[in-house]
Amino acid sequence: MAASIARVAEPPRRIPLDRAAFRWAGVEARDYKSRAGDAPGMSWQALTRHTIGPPGAAFETRYFELEPGGYSSLEKHRHVHLVFAVRGRGRALVGDSVFDFEGLDAIYVPPLTPHRWMNAGEEPFGFLCTVDAERDRPQPLDEDELAALRANPATAPYAF
Amino acid sequence: MAASIARVAEPPRRIPLDRAAFRWAGVEARDYKSRAGDAPGMSWQALTRHTIGPPGAAFETRYFELEPGGYSSLEKHRHVHLVFAVRGRGRALVGDSVFDFEGLDAIYVPPLTPHRWMNAGEEPFGFLCTVDAERDRPQPLDEDELAALRANPATAPYAF
């Protein structure tokens, strides 16, 4: 686990949440990705990424926040997701399912399963997302995958 | 990452939280540990462990719940913790600090840092705790560590 060994541990600390701003102390909001995706389905809108930590682990926990109307890119990768809704109301396209979730409901995304996160409400939607520290890069869906999602009435609205 | 490869992925799923019972669907409450600790500091009381997942990852996310008066063992290990309070009010002894936390406040526990989790309120206290899937076993504190915590007025009440 090279990622763990290479990191330097920090002192114990409390990372308080400012509940009005919904921001953890010392955790910066960053762009979701460094650039917009060009491949079909890889567009995204109005979301930020906040990497909370921890140093010295084989995993990373991030907070993602989507403004009303916001959505992530429709992508897949080998690493799995375990996500907990912590602010507002969200919707997830995962494989051939669409799940609404809020209030600490969790969503599991298996390997190589197409998925997209969306804000389903009028307030910001935020979720905690933990992933392996060493992980593969997200990939666009292939044409067959996109076609299947577009042919399924449940997933079609989100397969743009 | 043998732990990742050995596991079988499951289908996508939503894991809803029953907010009245504060239980995730299909996630069993288990004993915190299989037996009480005999070494100094290793006693614990009134807490349960709920392993939420995910399969196929280099990490595990667990929910721990402590009844009023409950506490975990005072221990250390090489693997780090990143913990989020999600129910009630908690207190953490971490190294030579004592932190109160609640409402999605996070606590980081560095490698080999003595720590104990406690309920600081009159309601159940629960936190999400993510750890490396491959990790070392918790160890009792050595005599010098216990003596230092007992000599420090801030930590002494919790170094039993």
pLDDT at A8: 57
Tokens 């044409």, residue?
Answer: A143
The reply to whether residue B11 touches residue A54, judged by beta carbons under 8 angstroms, is no
Separation CA B100–CA A26 (nearest Å): 18
Distant-in-sequence, close-in-space partners of B145: CB < 8 Å, separation ≥ 6: B76, B114
Vertex B106 angle, CA B101 and B107, to 5°: 85
Distant-in-sequence, close-in-space partners of A70: CB < 8 Å, separation ≥ 6: A44, A45, A46, A47, A118, A119, A125
Q: Looking at the DSSP assignment, which residues form a beta bridge with residue A11?
A: none
Residue A7 pLDDT > 70? no
Count other C-beta atoms under 10 Å from residue B122's C-beta: 10
Contact A16, B102 (CB under 8 A): no
Query: Measured in whole angstroms, how far is the alpha carbon of residue B55 from the centre of its chain?
Result: 20
Q: Residue B20: closest CA among chain A residues belongs to which residue?
A: A103
Residue B137 pLDDT > 50? yes
Q: Which helix (H) or strand (E) holds B41?
A: none
pLDDT tens profile B48-74:
999 999 999 999 999 999 999 999 999
pLDDT tens profile A79-131:
999 999 999 999 999 999 999 999 999 999 999 999 999 999 999 999 999 99
Kindly provide the ipTM of the predicted complex, given to two decimals: 0.92
Residue B129 is among the residues annotated as catalytic for this protein: yes
pLDDT at B9: 62
Query: What SS3 class is residue A148?
Result: helix
Distant-in-sequence, close-in-space partners of A154: CB < 8 Å, separation ≥ 6: A96, A97, A98
Would you please indicate which residues of A are annotated as catalytic (active-site) residues?
129
Q: How many CB pairs under 8 A join A and B?
A: 157
Residue A2 pLDDT > 70? no
Task: Name every chain B residue with its beta carbon within 8 A of the beta carbon of A17.
Answer: 103-106
pLDDT at B16: 97
A129 touches chain B (CB under 8 A): no
Instruction: Answer whether the bond into residue A54 is a cis peptide, omega within 30°.
Output: yes
Indicate the residue of B10, B99, B108 with minimum beta-carbon distance to A110: B10
Percent of chain A with pLDDT over 90: 83
Ramachandran category for residue B5: left, alpha or beta (phi over 0 → left; psi -120 to 50 → alpha): alpha
Residue B156 pLDDT > 60? yes
* CA-based nearest distance B132→chain A, Å: 6
Task: Name every chain A residue with its beta carbon within 8 A of the beta carbon of B12.
Answer: 94-95, 97, 99, 107-110, 113, 115
